[in-house]
Chains A and B, each alone.
Chain A
Amino acid sequence: DQQVKQNSPSLSVQEGRISILNCDYTNSMFDYFLWYKKYPAEGPTFLISISSIKDKNEDGRFTVFLNKSAKHLSLHIVPSQPGDSAVYFCAASGAGGTSYGKLTFGQGTILTVHP
């Protein structure tokens, strides 16, 4: 299932700089997109989301951008902090009128923020 893809398995960033995590999707029926982060031995934790009617959503240091024509979204973290080091998952929902909460996940990107 390649409907949601995160092509970068890992990203390394210096503390204070911007982290940009990317995600592509193929199913044009998706209408809601989310980012989750996951620490070892924990479940995914909701970070930020965006509806397909918007192209940007911001929450503190985290901003998600959606480019529907390119079927691409990105997560920007500014400034990056060592505590942001985690696996980040892109997820999408809404394809084909499916029920709420059926998320399709990407493979994840391991973000490492160096002090």
Chain B
Amino acid sequence: EPEVTQTPSHQVTQMGQEVILRCVPISNHLYFYWYRQILGQKVEFLVSFYNNEISEKSEIFDDQFSVERPDGSNFTLKIRSTKLEDSAMYFCASSPQDRATNEKLFFGSGTQLSVL
């Protein structure tokens, strides 16, 4: 069964450093997302991406965050200057095109980001 792949599984960084989290969505999917879950809190939406542009972003997704689809397979989340509060599990997800299945997001296993 096709799956969403995320690398690395764990990332440790110093506060103020830039990090790039990488994802390979399912190949025939057209919608891509990033979610995160801070320890002990809910899974929360960050950003959705379609047709090479951001469809929607949450309040969390400020100027420190950016997303990119640099080629036909990868989807990345960049945090320019990490803060302690960015420590969380970051999930990439993708979904097919039609409305009937769009919300059936397929999630990757996540990248645990620890900012020290």
Contacts and interface: CB of A to CB of B under 8 A. Distances in A.
Interface residues of A, number: 25
A102 B48 contact: yes
A25 interface: no
A100 B48 contact: yes
Chain A contact residues, majority secondary structure: loop
Contacts, number: 65
Given A46-B104, A101-B93, 13 more contacts: A1-B42, A41-B109, A42-B110, A49-B104, A93-B103, A99-B50, A99-B55, A100-B31, A100-B55, A102-B45, A102-B56, A103-B45, A105-B44
Interface of B: 4, 31, 33, 35, 41-45, 48, 50, 55-56, 91, 93, 95, 99, 102-110
7 contacts: A36-B107, A44-B105, A100-B95, A101-B103, A102-B45, A105-B42, A107-B42
